Amino acid sequence: MPASGELAVFPMTARDEISIKTPDALLSGQSTVDVIQSCIPNIKDAWAVPGVDVDAILISIRIATYGPKMEISPSCPECQEINSYDADLKLALGQSLGRIWDGDLTFGELQIHLKPLSYRELTDYQLKTFEVRRFMEELARAELEDKERVAKFNEGFQKLKSITIDMVLDSIESIELPDGTEVSDRGMLSEFIENAARDVFEGINNIVTDNQKIFRLTPLHIKCPDCGNEWEQALEFDTSNFFARNS
């Protein structure tokens, strides 16, 4: 990384634009990684980037490619009229860059230091969660005996629980003991989580969740020109739509 801490961001190439619209690569996260590494050469391993920073990185790439304005077309919650608005991506980027991960907490004499999940970890957990939820949806439509249905639902819930536990475990950077010793061995951290009291586990999970919320893009305040209704519109995107050129 340059001494200034700033990274050069280049516009997407034609190859990048094709990559970002490939469904399988989008789902796996590979196309996002390829585009980040292509447009920001100083990022050698985009899989290792903190997942909470990816939105800011993608916004930077879109600004470099298409400019700071992005047209969105939300439907008014009151009258359902669809109108077009220009989102200021420079403003969204500035807000994102001003946010700081605050992941330290204390339980008794222990200091627990938390870290954001890497983009690879985040993508893996999102895929696992997606697969379990799809399994649950298919199960709800399947023709099964009640006993079998309940057993399979319980299986799905156990998988979701396991995913949550693993996410919490991967969010722990280290645990500092009263004598100043820092424990970062995954096996020892896993043993700690498995034997931790419920309030300890929930406390860690809440800190991680709260930090993830901090890094979400600030909603846009929108007023419908047809009925005058005002609401907060989440600035969310799937990568393929986000990197579509405005017409």
- The pLDDT assigned to 2 comes to 54
- Token pair for residue 178? 């009263």
Rounded Cα–Cα distance for residues 75 and 55 (Å)? 23
Q: Which pLDDT score, from 0 to 100, does residue 188 have? A: 94
Contacts of 19 (CB under 8 A, 6+ apart): 25, 31, 34, 35
pLDDT (0 to 100) of residue 238: 55
Return the pLDDT at 3.
47
- For the chain, the maximum distance between any two Cα atoms, rounded to a whole number of angstroms, is 65
Residue 197 is predicted with a pLDDT of 87
Instruction: Say what the pLDDT of residue 61 is.
Output: 94
Amino acid at 76: C
Query: Would you call 214 helix, strand, or coil by DSSP?
Result: helix
204: nearest Cα among 177, 164, 176: 164
Q: Which residues pair with 172 in a beta bridge?
A: 114
As a whole number of angstroms, the distance between CA 156 and CA 167 comes to 17
Task: Give the model confidence (pLDDT) of 82-117 as tens digits.
Answer: 988 888 999 888 888 878 888 888 888 999 999 999
**pTM tops 0.85:** no
What stretches in the chain show pLDDT beneath 70? Answer: 1-5, 25, 236-247
Q: What is the pLDDT of residue 247?
A: 44
